[in-house]
């Protein structure tokens, strides 16, 4: 009896190589998975500026996300404060002319504030879990 065999093929070797490569690349992702995202990473958090000038806070209403930083910059010649109307939420203390004060609000809510020295000066920080995509770039910080 005559047995004729084909020469060995490299297709099996190539297939095993491809399977091994895919497994080596995919197993870490399958094993460890993607990290859960409950809060924005520090690098995704924005910084926003509230300018104190001509006896006003500008912008008067600022929409931010939890964890964003808000910096109050005093460009007036007199001192001011940024004090939440709800006692205990936040109080900048004295912000002298040319100085600034920063605040990070970790959770959603609406925070009206005013200047303790000049009660007609007022503003509001609105902390939202998701800022609407229609928001202008000025509302999302610098």
User: Is the preceding peptide bond at 36 cis, omega within 30 degrees of 0?
Assistant: no
Q: With the CA atoms of 14, 20, 25 and 31 taken in that order, what torsion angle do they form, in degrees rounded to the nearest 10?
A: 160
Angle (CA) 80-139-133 rounded to 5° is: 160
In sign, the C-alpha dihedral spanning 116, 117, 123, 128 is: negative
From first CA to last CA, the distance across the chain in angstroms is: 84
How far is the C-alpha of 118 from the C-alpha of 128, rounded, in Å?
Answer: 28
Establish whether 75 is an annotated binding residue. no
Establish whether 118 is an annotated binding residue. yes
Establish whether 48 is an annotated binding residue. no
- Binding site for Cu cation: what residues are annotated? 80, 115, 118
- Binding site: what residues are annotated? 80, 115, 118
């Amino acid at each position: 009896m005559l047995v004729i065999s084909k020469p060995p093929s490299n297709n099996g070797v190539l297939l095993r190589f491809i399977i091994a490569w895919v497994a080596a690349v995919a197993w870490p992702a399958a094993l460890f998975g993607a990290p859960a995202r409950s809060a924005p990473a520090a690098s995704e958090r924005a910084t926003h500026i509230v300018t104190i000038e001509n006896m006003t806070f500008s912008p008067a209403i600022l929409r931010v996300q939890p964890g964003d930083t808000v910096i109050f910059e005093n460009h007036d010649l007199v001192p001011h404060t940024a004090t939440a109307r709800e006692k205990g939420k936040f109080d900048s203390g004295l912000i002298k002319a040319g100085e600034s004060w920063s605040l990070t609000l970790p959770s959603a809510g609406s925070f009206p504030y005013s200047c303790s020295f000049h009660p007609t000066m007022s503003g509001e920080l609105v902390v939202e879990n998701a800022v609407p995509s229609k928001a202008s770039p000025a509302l999302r910080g610098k």
